[in-house]
Amino acid sequence: MNETKLWNELSRGDPAERLFGHALKLFVCLLLALLLGACGGPPEPPARLTINPWVGYDPLVLARERGLLDAGSVKVVELMSSTESQRALRNGLAEAAALTLDEALRLADAGMALRIVALLSDFDCNHALLARPEIQTPAQLKGRRIALEESAHGALVLDRLLAAGGLTRAEVTLLHVEAAQHATMLTGGRADAVITFDPMKSQLAGKGFRVVFHGPPMPNNFVDVLVARADLPEARIAALRAAWEAGRRALLADPQGAAALLAPGADLSPAEYLATLDGLRFLTPADNAARLKAAALERDAGALAQLLLERGLLRRLPDWDGLTNGNPAP
């Protein structure tokens, strides 16, 4: 019996039978709807976006905490270090991550198929060397232990630091540790000095450690980026960008309120938190439209890539076109 005949049969008879027929019709419709929904499969989970402690990524935290992002499309996950963020991305535990440009270049160089989908912020070299109070000049680091991350920023600051002190790498002991361990390395006495950045820099300065050396300016090379796995759908990438933009606008619209919310997570006072934003510029959609192109990125960051290559942190110069359009060269 086809559907039309079934409905006709159910519509005949006395009122009780007709009531039963209507109820049966409703049940059949609901059952069909459930079956069709099941055929569509479960809803796609949100794209997991990992970040590590750094004020340049905090608009994403702000967007999450204030409910400004689409929670069904984006899940912001805070991890202890950039290394953990990259590991999660490589192992399929995350679909996107906020990284520094040099970290993104190194991850792609190692074979990760990824795409730079947004430029987040420009910042002056925020790195500095903090040391025990008795160390007052770079020259006094001779024979001392220096902790730092193995990154382009750390390598650049180290080179300039040693030159300022008239030292060679052989005259210091280098301890390569993740940024999350910088404060404990210095406070625990396992290092005499540390090359680090905010919020660890401000935390250590507040505990009486001396800022001996500031990182040098290097325009256009210190850039935070949002990267995604190359196969992430465009709709999810759009949601990631929207989350960043919502957080960026909220922070700039009410920096005092944002600082009150975000400062405790950085172990800073609101005033100290606001001070860490000096020299940091959150990038707009217009900035991205102008700069997130292969030629522009190569122009701005070519010197950084060359530095990474010379330091053995890259095996080859980047495929800029692949990084920006999601089709990396094999």
Domain ranges of the chain: 3-39, 47-122+220-325, 128-214
Q: Pairing between strand 173-176 and 128-131?
A: unpaired
Q: Is pLDDT at 8 greater than 50 in this prediction?
A: yes
The helix (run of H) or strand (run of E) holding residue 50 is strand 47-51
Counting Cα atoms < 13 Å in the Cβ hemisphere of 214 gives 8
Higher-pLDDT residue of 214 and 93 is 93
Phi-psi region of 233 (alpha: psi -120 to 50; beta: other; left: phi over 0): beta
- pLDDT-based confidence at 217, cuts 50/70/90? low
Give me the numbers of helices (H) and strands (E) for the chain, helices first please.
14, 11
CATH code 3.30.565.10 for 128-214: no
Q: Is pLDDT at 138 greater than 90 in this prediction?
A: yes
pLDDT, residue 10, reads 45
313 secondary structure, DSSP code = S
Higher-pLDDT residue of 106 and 217 is 106
Mean per-residue pLDDT, 64-76: 96
Range from 2-6, 160-164, 221-225, 318-322 that averages highest in pLDDT: 318-322
pLDDT, residue 41, reads 57
Higher-pLDDT residue of 246 and 272 is 246
pLDDT, residue 74, reads 97
Task: Tell the residue number behind the tokens 């709709």, with chain if given.
Answer: 235
Express each pLDDT in 160-211 by its tens digit. 899 999 999 999 999 988 877 888 899 999 999 999 877 788 888 888 898 9
Q: Is pLDDT at 98 greater than 80 in this prediction?
A: yes
- pLDDT-based confidence at 25, cuts 50/70/90? low
Q: Is pLDDT at 221 greater than 70 in this prediction?
A: no
- Return the sign of the alpha-carbon dihedral for residues 148, 152, 156, 159: positive
Closest to 226 measured CA to CA, from 329, 115, 136:
115
Provide the greatest CA pair distance for the chain. Answer: 104
- Say which CATH superfamily domain 47-122+220-325 falls into: Periplasmic binding protein-like II (3.40.190.10)
Please tell me if the domain spanning 47-122+220-325 has the same topology as the one spanning 128-214.
yes
Q: Which residues, other chains included, contact 165 with Cβ-Cβ below 8 Å and sequence gap of 6+?
A: 137, 138, 139, 140, 141, 142
Task: Tell the residue number behind the tokens 């992002």, with chain if given.
Answer: 69
Express each pLDDT in 254-288 by its tens digit. 999 999 999 998 888 999 899 888 878 999 999 99
Q: Tell me the DSSP string of 182-225.
A: HHHHHHTTS-SEEEE-TTHHHHHHHTT-EEEEEPPP-TTTSEEE
